[in-house]
Amino acid sequence: MNTKIIVKLFVYSCGAEAGPPLGTVLGNLGINALKFSKEFNDFTTGLPQFLLLPVIIYITESKTYTFLVGKPTSSFFINLLKYSKMVRLYKNRALQKVFYVSFFNFIRLVIFKFKFLNLLESMFTMLGCLNSCNIKLSLS
């Protein structure tokens, strides 16, 4: 299989539609957007619809394609935590919002996201993501 074009995009699980913008991108490359949407939605049927998934589409010269669906990004999960009950919100002395995630929920997130990697190294990676999303780690 000679890959001619690689398309990287983000699509909500069970949310692929043949209309714009996805249909426009795939249509310009000679791919049937309706067929891709159906295949993608069938593939992601068991997932919650709010998950934003990274998708890589490999298109060959004969206009056939295959696609790979990855896990959501770490920052997506962390920002999702802000709207769940897994993160507590406090206001500090300067009346700024400070988000905290418990150590237990932090470990659960690390194990889910980096299942096959070294736990200690994965924890440092996730701590960097927490820091960039302005969430602190609570040891209690």
Helical residues (DSSP H) of the chain, grouped into ranges: 22-28, 33-43, 74-82, 103-113, 119-132
DSSP tag of 127: H
Q: What is the pLDDT of residue 100?
A: 82
Q: What is the pLDDT of residue 106?
A: 87
Q: What is the pLDDT of residue 89?
A: 64
Q: What are phi and psi of 58, to 5 degrees?
A: -100, 120
Q: What are phi and psi of 116, to 5 degrees?
A: -105, 10
Please give the Cα distance from 57 to 68 (Å, whole number).
7
Question: What is the pTM for the complete model shown?
Answer: 0.69
Q: What are phi and psi of 24, to 5 degrees?
A: -65, -45
Residue 67 near residue 58 (C-beta atoms within 8 A): yes
Q: What is the pLDDT of residue 60?
A: 93
3-69 fold: Ribosomal protein L11, N-terminal domain (3.30.1550)
Domain ranges within the chain, ordered by starting residue:
3-69, 74-138
Residue 76: both structure tokens together: 């997506």
Q: What is the pLDDT of residue 22?
A: 93
pLDDT beneath 50: ranges in the chain:
none
Residue 69's SS3 state is strand
Q: What is the pLDDT of residue 2?
A: 78
Q: What is the pLDDT of residue 16?
A: 94
Residue 125's SS3 state is helix
pLDDT digits (tens, 9 = 90+) for 17-50: 999 999 999 999 999 999 999 999 999 998 888 8
Q: What is the pLDDT of residue 85?
A: 60
